[in-house]
């Protein structure tokens, strides 16, 4: 029995995949759960049209993400923090602080899409963060943490 998946099904496939399953599994589990529909000719045509429209929309999103990535590459980010002896920071620097620094430069990125290896930074120096702008557009951004000037 051929089915079109409406949701991701573990060990079977992802949404909008056409899969071959045993009749009982499809009829008694997947279809009643709302995870799949029968792969009739009309359903296949609808799926093909939806995939075509989604590809067009996704291309626009990828282009926008590439533009943001290019803008990020041109930025020089320096975060200031109070520091004690041995370059130790009072508190820590996290992805939220980095997202705030990007916002000050005019690039709005949610903190959940910024990944700092180790989670937080507790020392002065140069670091890199991974920024995920789209499923297919991931960039790394170098930034520095410097000590606050004492007045």
Residue 21's domain is classified under what CATH number?
A: 3.40.5.10
Q: Phi then psi for 31, rounded to 5 degrees?
A: -70, -45
Q: Are residues 36 and 88 in the same domain?
A: no
Residues 35 and 96 in one domain: no
pLDDT digits (tens, 9 = 90+) for 107-120: 888 888 888 888 88
Per-residue pLDDT, 110: 85
How far are the Cα atoms of 43, 60, 92, 114 from residue 127, in angstroms, in the given order?
50, 31, 13, 13
Mean pLDDT of the residues in the chain: 88
Round to whole Å and give the CA distance between 92 and 94.
6
Task: Mark which of 23, 45, 62 sits at the end of a domain.
Answer: 62
Question: If residue 47 lies in a helix (H) or strand (E), which one and from where to where?
Answer: helix 41-73
- Give the domain extent around 74: 69-147
Strand bridging mode 2-5 / 114-115? unpaired
Give the model's pLDDT for residue 150.
67
> Which residue ranges of the chain lie beneath pLDDT 70?
150-151
Give the number of domains in the chain: 2
Question: Are 35 and 76 within one domain?
Answer: no
3-state DSSP assignment of residue 66:
helix
Q: What is the pTM of this model?
A: 0.61
């Amino acid at each position: 029995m051929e089915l079109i998946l409406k949701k991701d099904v573990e060990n079977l496939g992802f949404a909008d995949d056409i899969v071959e399953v045993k009749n009982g599994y499809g009829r008694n589990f997947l279809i009643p759960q709302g995870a799949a529909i029968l792969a009739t000719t009309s359903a296949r045509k609808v799926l093909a049209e939806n995939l075509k429209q989604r590809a067009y929309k996704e291309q626009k999103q990828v282009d926008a993400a590439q533009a943001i990535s290019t803008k990020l590459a041109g930025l020089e980010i320096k975060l200031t923090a109070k520091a004690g002896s041995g370059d130790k920071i009072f508190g820590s620097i996290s992805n939220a602080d980095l997202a705030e620094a990007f916002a000050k430069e005019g690039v709005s990125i949610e903190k959940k899409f910024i990944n700092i290896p180790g989670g937080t930074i507790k020392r002065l120096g140069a670091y890199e963060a991974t920024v995920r702008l789209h499923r297919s557009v991931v960039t790394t951004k170098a930034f520095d943490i410097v000590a606050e000037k004492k007045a």
